[in-house]
């Protein structure tokens, strides 16, 4: 949380992740019956919101990730 002009302001971060998953996919026949299933890949989009300290940590992590990968110690 951040303080701004004496008021307590809570920041919210929206995180969207798109990933490819191997899942079982149902093939539907007429009248909503399942004809069969097969193994396949599907793109899955997940969205979540983090607020407060968790949101600030995630935003900081997202901004600093590229520099952390290239920094040598």
pLDDT tens per residue, range 11-69: 666 777 777 777 777 777 666 666 777 777 777 777 776 665 555 555 555 444 444 44
So what's the pLDDT on residue 45?
75
Question: What's the pTM?
Answer: 0.26
Spacing of C-alpha 31 from chain mean position: 35
Q: Compute how many other C-beta atoms are within 10 angstroms of the C-beta atom of residue 58.
A: 14
* Count of residues making up the chain: 73
Strand 34-51 vs strand 12-28: parallel, antiparallel, or unpaired?
Answer: antiparallel
Q: 2 with 11: CB under 8 angstroms?
A: yes
């Amino acid at each position: 949380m951040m303080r701004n002009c004496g008021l307590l302001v809570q920041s919210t971060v929206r995180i969207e992740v798109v990933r490819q998953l191997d899942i079982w996919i149902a093939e539907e026949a007429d009248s909503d019956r399942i004809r069969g299933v097969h193994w396949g890949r599907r793109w899955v989009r997940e969205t979540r919101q983090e607020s407060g300290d968790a949101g600030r940590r995630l935003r900081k992590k997202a901004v600093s990730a590229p520099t952390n990968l290239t920094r040598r110690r």
